[in-house]
Structure 1
Amino acid sequence: MKTLAQFFDHLPLLPMRWEIQRNDELSGIGSGVVFQAELATPLWSAAIALQPVRLPEANEISALVNGLAGAQEPFLFRDPYICGPKLDPQGAGLGGVAVTVSAANGRSLSLEGMPAGYRLSIGDKIQIIASGGTHAFVEVSENVVATAGGTTGSFQVFPRLPVSVSAGASCSFARPACPCIILPGSFQSGTPSGNIVTGIAFRIVQKRGVQ
């Protein structure tokens, strides 16, 4: 998997938004009752657009995308404009501590090793690296406050945690990244005007279970 330095850091990104790509099947009956079946785990996705660049830089970006071999090689991707939790935007309050999972079960998570009183807010993102190096990327679904001892009670996250996440998995709240691939056929190499290329864009989607 490509690190942030190998792919993400080379992209002059415009603001982006993480979205959820659901994989649901809906059916209904005459009374108006609707049934929903989740066919696969929801995945994070985003529409990516780049700032105008000079032609040589556009060629470099195209080469980086080509080097991913379609959807064969995943890469880490993060929101460039959000660097930390809502109440600690730069992640300074974490002070370099090592936060780990103390328990995980489905959509429930509890943590240890946090600074005393540290707060997480609904919508904050967490990058989790499980045993064996597999990555997970989840969103906090309820407000959380660490105790004086740096632990939290069980709180909900979204989407469901992979089974690889268990006690001892490491957590990152500062610049959390998600393993992704570029959706096949979504890359637009842009339109040149003189030496400037505009309109470079692509779509990304999460790839689960990668190291």
Structure 2
Amino acid sequence: MADDLTTAHRWDEARFTLARRQELSRSAGGAVFAADLGGPLWRAEFRSFPLRRDPADALLADFEDLGGAVGTFLAHPAKRPRPASSPVVGPALAGVTVDSIAADRRSLVLAGLPAGFVLGAGDFVSIATAAGGREFLRLAGGGAAVTGGDSVVRSPSLRTTQPIRPSVAAGDAATLADPLVEMRIEPGTLAQERVALDWWSVVFSCVQVVR
């Protein structure tokens, strides 16, 4: 099982980008068409806050132990680790699950939220799937959770910036605080850079693993 290698450390940079695998083509009349060649993948660039030599060496060793791109690890969006409406998240967000997924797989409803809890565009959600993977989503819309007639508190329909993969199903556990995504180091990007006398930053780029 992949280890969480980022939440225990402070990161000066943790930039997540949704990389869409697309191509453009042009008709004889000059019209331009776009087509998806596969599902999008998350890429991220991490840079630690400056560390003294020994802690920097220890952090570098954690990532070197992955064997380059061979091993995988869990990362979190360190610069946006929690929903914007709740900068401090306690036990109230434990037990959140996927309630339903729209037929076009572009939106979902979450259950188990506190009544009135607000999710919004830009918030991240991590979903643990039965296949052993983690779907990682950014919301494109949101709203406040309300209590239904069955006494279950549900979010409104939450549109996502990408299609939700078929591996995600109702009942899967969802994480809103420090949401994790499985990644692997991109070859040649792991390094230790000197930022001042005896101060160093560990840097790397990584790409999402889909299971």
C-alpha distance in 1, partners of 2:34/2:120? 29
For the residue of structure 1 that corresponds to 2:74, the secondary structure is strand
C-alpha distance in 2, partners of 1:189/1:83? 24
Shift of 1:192: 8.2
Matched, 1:148 2:151: no
For the residue of structure 2 that corresponds to 1:131, the secondary structure is coil
Provide Cα deviations, 1:63-111, integer angstroms capped at 9, x if missing partner: 212210112221111122333111112224x614411112224222112
The one-letter amino acid paired with 1:185 is: G
Q: Which runs of 5+ in 2 are unaligned?
A: none
Instruction: Give 2:84's aligned residue.
Output: 86
Map 1:27-46 onto structure 2 (within 5 A): 27-29=25-27, 31-46=29-44
Select the residue among 59, 63, 66 that pairs with 1:65.
63
C-alpha distance in 2, partners of 1:31/1:47? 40
Instruction: Give 1:117's aligned residue.
Output: 116
Instruction: Give 2:170's aligned residue.
Output: 167
Asked if the contact 2:60–2:192 (Cα under 8 Å) also holds between the matched residues in 1, the reply is yes
C-alpha distance in 1, partners of 2:95/2:8? 28
Asked if the contact 1:97–1:115 (Cα under 8 Å) also holds between the matched residues in 2, the reply is no
Provide Cα deviations, 1:121-146, integer angstroms capped at 9, x if missing partner: 01110011122432111011112222
Provide Cα deviations, 1:5-57, integer angstroms capped at 9, x if missing partner: xx224544203221112211111135442111111211111221122222222
Map 1:13-52 onto structure 2 (within 5 A): 13-29=11-27, 31-52=29-50
Shift of 1:193: 6.5
For the residue of structure 2 that corresponds to 1:16, the secondary structure is strand
C-alpha distance in 2, partners of 1:15/1:37? 32
The one-letter amino acid paired with 1:120 is: L
Asked if the contact 1:136–1:178 (Cα under 8 Å) also holds between the matched residues in 2, the reply is yes
C-alpha distance in 2, partners of 1:120/1:109? 12
Greater percentage in strand: 2
Q: What is the TM-score when the length of structure 1 is the normalising length? A: 0.86
Question: Matched residues, percent identical?
Answer: 28
Task: Report which stretch shifted further, 103-112 or 65-74.
Answer: 103-112
Asked if the contact 2:106–2:162 (Cα under 8 Å) also holds between the matched residues in 1, the reply is yes
Q: Which runs of 5+ in 1 are unaligned?
A: none
Count how many residue pairs are aligned between Structure 1 and Structure 2.
205
C-alpha distance in 2, partners of 1:12/1:170? 26
Q: What is the RMSD of the two structures over their aligned residues, measured on CA atoms? A: 2.2
C-alpha distance in 2, partners of 1:75/1:99? 23
For the residue of structure 1 that corresponds to 2:14, the secondary structure is coil
Instruction: Give 2:205's aligned residue.
Output: 203
Shift of 1:197: 4.2
The one-letter amino acid paired with 1:162 is: R
The one-letter amino acid paired with 2:204 is: F
C-alpha distance in 1, partners of 2:86/2:171? 24
Asked if the contact 1:49–1:199 (Cα under 8 Å) also holds between the matched residues in 2, the reply is yes
C-alpha distance in 2, partners of 1:208/1:169? 16
CA pair 176-192 structure 1, distance change in 2 beyond 3 A: closer
The one-letter amino acid paired with 2:171 is: G
